[in-house]
């Protein structure tokens, strides 16, 4: 199968990745090859097979709803590019 | 000093032959002079290491006789290290100073290990050659025109070149076992859930596992003993006791049933590799093991299954890298969406982008059932093959890789060619099984690895088999002859 430039750009948009114009075709080719490669899976007979989300038979562990962590936001916010009054700053979300 | 294993170094430290400060200084010297040549390190934490070494000398004098006390190691740059740069081999984190230690890092620190460096790796653990790092490729110390394997290439190269006696790595599709095979050292990937993933930057959450790169099975047993164990901070951590891995290293192999899958010995396996691995299996037989042929009928689908599941999980895990709370943020953008796109477009390398987009595609509306759901079902079949095999054998043995180390740039033109390097290792990740690679020979001067895989939580048995093999062979003691500017460095 062959991913069109349009489909490629749509995937990039969904993934929030900017791909340079001159690279779109190369990425589309690579992705097409990968998708062709994984197409082999359709050959496997999987009627009545349960999907495996997890390699071990485990259920999600629960714990008591108690506070166990301390507020260290100042330490963690040191890694942010833009912080003001303890808030992470981003470009305006709402018009 | 640098040729000694962790267990030998520990004995020397406890006998007072030298101090941890002396040992650390010696290795730091090698790290600083040879590290750049191999490009094995992202960050060298010299001062921190000496401080930790001084502390270790004190606690040892006060009675701490732990086997890792005062031992210099390195951590793959995928592990968060408090106050130290943690890049994951990526531009998008090239300014990220971690505010906390990963559980694995904390445990090794508490045991007195000394952190000398953070090692170079394929970006976000995606790669089989360590050519995908934003810091440039790592070189194989056995032949610097060749790759060391990946994604734990930096850790493997550093241990193989005798810059350090041990390093941590991670294995999602083979990223510990494959570089161990290509650099002639011992690599261990534990059972999924055996070692905590807290603080280990996530690539594919249902496949990732932390492990060890060392020069012997005994050293791997020492490191695993400290690293393993339940961690309440990791929701997928197994609530299982950690056995004393060293206590059973010398166990007899009489009657041990080892299965050799015919599917591992296909046309893709280079004849010289095949010969070395077959010879290794004969050695195991001489040690008392019973060898038989087994089948893993769905093995051929393991690589395609992985390249649906892993990218899908990575597309989700890497969505946190958006420039808002940490890491690189683009300087110029029009709006929030543009900020995300430019930040991620600038921050991620090509392979990472390919995998995020593959994952996005297979999870998208209209394709989810055909690809992702299908892959999860095939994963069940693959895991069932191994479970079936373990009804009649105790362990599985075969090659780790189809060829020895390939040349830098040889496989970067086509992603699929690169992906097929993991053909023998991926199954263990899909099924959550523990696996090891041990050196078993050479092909034209390049190391070859023997892989052993076992049922869930049988690390003690794997280490035992590897140790017994290393008692009757000496492949694991061979060191590369390295030269810097024409001068031998041994």
In a domain, B59, yes or no: yes
Point out the residue among B95, B344, B381 whose CB comes nearest to the CB of A49. Answer: B381
| d(C-alpha B22, C-alpha B25), whole Å | 5
Q: Number of Cβ pairs closer than 8 Å across A and B?
A: 168
Which of these three, B257, B283, B318, is where a domain ends?
B257
In a domain, B415, yes or no: no
Whether B185 and B304 share a structural domain? no
In a domain, A77, yes or no: no
In a domain, A94, yes or no: no
| B319 inside 8 A of chain A by CB | yes
In a domain, B406, yes or no: no
| d(C-alpha B456, C-alpha A55), whole Å | 10
Which one of A55, A87, A93, A95 would you mutate to disrupt binding with B, by most B Cβ within 10 Å of its Cβ?
Answer: A55
Q: Give the tokens for residue B376.
A: 């999860």
| Phi, psi of B464, deg, nearest 5 | -60, -50
Predicted local distance difference test score (pLDDT) of residue A2: 85
Helix spans in chain A (H): 5-14, 24-38, 73-77
Q: Give the tokens for residue B112.
A: 């007195």
Q: Which residue of A has its CA nearest to B376?
A: A51
In a domain, A25, yes or no: yes
- Residue B154 contacts residue A17 (beta carbons within 8 Å): no
Q: How far does B375 lie from chain A, in Å, by closest CA?
A: 7
| d(C-alpha B87, C-alpha B91), whole Å | 7
Q: Give the tokens for residue A14.
A: 């969904």
In a domain, B31, yes or no: yes
Whether B212 and B307 share a structural domain? no
Point out the residue among B315, B345, B380 whose CB comes nearest to the CB of A19. Answer: B345
| Catalytic machinery residues of B | 76, 151, 175
Write the CATH number for B69.
3.90.1300.10
What is the residue range of B327's domain?
Answer: 300-377
CA B116 vs CA B25, B275, B322: distances in Å: 10, 38, 30
- Structural domain total, chain B: 2
Q: What are the respective helix, strand and coil percentages of chain B, to the nearest 5?
A: 40, 15, 45
| d(C-alpha A11, C-alpha B358), whole Å | 9
- A37·B236 Cβ contact <8 A: no
Predicted local distance difference test score (pLDDT) of residue B417: 87
Which of these three, B342, B361, B377, is where a domain ends?
B377
pTM passes above 0.90: yes
Q: Which of B181, B180, B208 is nearest to B194 (CA)?
A: B208
Per-residue pLDDT tens listing for chain B (490 residues)? 999 999 999 999 999 999 999 999 999 999 999 999 999 999 999 999 999 999 999 999 999 999 999 999 999 999 999 999 999 999 999 999 999 999 999 999 999 999 999 999 999 999 999 999 999 999 999 999 999 999 999 999 999 999 999 999 999 999 999 999 999 999 999 999 999 999 999 999 999 999 999 999 999 999 999 999 999 999 999 999 999 999 999 999 999 999 999 999 989 999 999 999 999 999 999 999 999 999 999 999 999 999 999 999 999 999 999 999 999 999 999 999 999 999 999 999 999 999 999 999 999 989 999 999 999 999 999 999 999 999 999 999 999 999 999 999 999 888 888 898 899 999 999 999 999 999 999 999 999 999 999 999 999 999 999 999 999 999 999 999 876 655 566 5
In a domain, B176, yes or no: yes
Whether B86 and B203 share a structural domain? yes
Whether B248 and B332 share a structural domain? no
In a domain, A36, yes or no: yes
Q: Do strands B210-214 and B166-170 pair parallel, antiparallel, or not at all (unpaired)?
A: antiparallel
- B357·A92 Cβ contact <8 A: no
| d(C-alpha B393, C-alpha B408), whole Å | 38
Which one of B379, B412, B419, B435 would you mutate to disrupt binding with A, by most A Cβ within 10 Å of its Cβ?
Answer: B379
Whether B371 and B309 share a structural domain? yes
What is the residue range of A20's domain?
Answer: 5-43
Whether B203 and B307 share a structural domain? no
Tokens 């600083």 found at: B32
| d(C-alpha B8, C-alpha B1), whole Å | 9
| d(C-alpha B416, C-alpha B371), whole Å | 17
What was the ipTM of the complex prediction? Answer: 0.95
Rounded (10°) CA dihedral B63, B48, B153, B300: 60
- A38·B371 Cβ contact <8 A: yes
Q: Which residue of B has its CA nearest to A32?
A: B358
Point out the residue among B304, B323, B376 whose CB comes nearest to the CB of A81. Answer: B323
In a domain, B284, yes or no: no
Q: What DSSP string runs through B440-469?
A: EEEETTEEEEEEEE-STT-HHHHHHHHHHH
Residue B132 DSSP SS3: coil
| B356 inside 8 A of chain A by CB | yes
Point out the residue among A52, A82, A91 whose CB comes nearest to the CB of B383. Answer: A52
Residue B129 DSSP SS3: coil
In a domain, B1, yes or no: no
Whether B246 and B337 share a structural domain? no
Q: Give the tokens for residue B243.
A: 């056995």
In a domain, A59, yes or no: no
CA A40 vs CA B315, B347, B351, B384, B413: distances in Å: 22, 32, 22, 19, 22
- Structural domain total, chain A: 1
In a domain, A89, yes or no: no
């Amino acid at each position: 199968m062959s991913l069109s430039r349009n489909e490629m750009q749509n995937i990039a948009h969904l993934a929030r990745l900017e791909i340079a114009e001159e690279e779109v075709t190369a990425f589309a080719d690579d992705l097409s090859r990968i998708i062709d490669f994984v197409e082999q899976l359709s050959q496997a007979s999987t009627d009545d097979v349960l999907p495996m989300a997890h390699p071990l038979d485990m259920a999600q562990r629960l714990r008591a709803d108690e506070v166990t962590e301390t507020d260290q936001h100042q330490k963690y916010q040191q890694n942010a590019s833009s912080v003001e009054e303890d808030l992470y700053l981003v470009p305006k979300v709402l018009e | 000093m640098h040729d000694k294993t962790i267990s030998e170094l520990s004995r020397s430290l406890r006998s007072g032959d030298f101090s941890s400060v002396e040992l650390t200084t010696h290795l730091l010297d090698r790290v600083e002079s040879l590290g750049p040549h191999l490009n094995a390190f992202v960050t060298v934490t010299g001062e921190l290491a000496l401080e930790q070494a001084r502390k270790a000398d004190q606690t040892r004098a006060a009675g701490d006789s732990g086997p890792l006390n005062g031992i210099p190691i390195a951590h793959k740059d995928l592990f968060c290290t408090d106050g130290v740069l943690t890049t994951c081999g990526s531009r998008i984190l090239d300014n990220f100073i971690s505010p906390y230690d990963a559980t694995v890092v904390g445990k090794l620190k508490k045991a007195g290990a000394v952190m000398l460096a953070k090692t170079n790796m394929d970006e976000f653990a995606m790669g089989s050659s360590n050519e995908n790092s934003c810091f440039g490729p790592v070189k194989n110390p056995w032949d610097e025109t060749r790759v060391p394997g990946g994604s734990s290439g930096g850790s493997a190269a550093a241990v193989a070149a005798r810059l350090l006696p041990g390093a941590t790595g991670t294995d999602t599709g083979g990223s510990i076992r494959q570089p161990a095979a290509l650099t002639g050292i011992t690599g261990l990937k534990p059972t999924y859930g055996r070692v905590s993933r807290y603080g280990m930057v996530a690539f594919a959450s249902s496949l990732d596992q932390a492990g060890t790169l060392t020069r012997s099975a005994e050293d791997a047993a020492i490191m695993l003993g400290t690293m393993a164990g339940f961690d309440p901070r990791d929701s997928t951590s197994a609530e299982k006791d950690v056995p004393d891995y060293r206590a059973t290293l010398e166990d007899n192999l009489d009657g041990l049933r080892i299965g050799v899958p015919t599917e591992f010995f296909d046309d893709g396996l280079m004849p010289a590799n095949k010969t070395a691995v077959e010879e290794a299996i004969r050695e195991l037989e001489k040690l008392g093991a019973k060898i038989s042929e087994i089948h893993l009928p769905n093995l051929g689908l393991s690589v395609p299954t992985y390249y649906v599941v892993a990218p899908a999980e990575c597309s989700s895990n890497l969505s946190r890298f958006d420039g808002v709370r940490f890491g690189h943020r683009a300087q110029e953008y029009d709006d929030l969406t543009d900020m995300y796109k430019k930040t991620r477009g600038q921050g991620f390398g090509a392979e990472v982008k390919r995998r995020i987009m593959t994952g996005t595609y297979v999870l998208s509306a209209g394709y989810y059932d055909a690809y992702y759901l299908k892959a999860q079902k095939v994963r069940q079949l693959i895991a069932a093959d191994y479970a079936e095999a373990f009804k009649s054998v105790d362990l599985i043995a075969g090659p780790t890789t189809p060829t020895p180390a390939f040349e830098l740039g040889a496989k970067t033109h086509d992603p699929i060619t690169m992906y097929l390097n993991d053909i023998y290792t991926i199954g263990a990740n899909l099924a959550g099984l523990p696996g090891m690679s041990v050196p078993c020979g050479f092909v034209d001067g390049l190391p070859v690895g023997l892989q052993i895989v076992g049922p869930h939580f049988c690390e003690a048995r794997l280490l035992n088999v590897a140790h017994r093999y290393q008692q009757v062979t000496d492949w694991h003691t061979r060191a590369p002859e390295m030269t810097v500017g024409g001068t031998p460095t041994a």
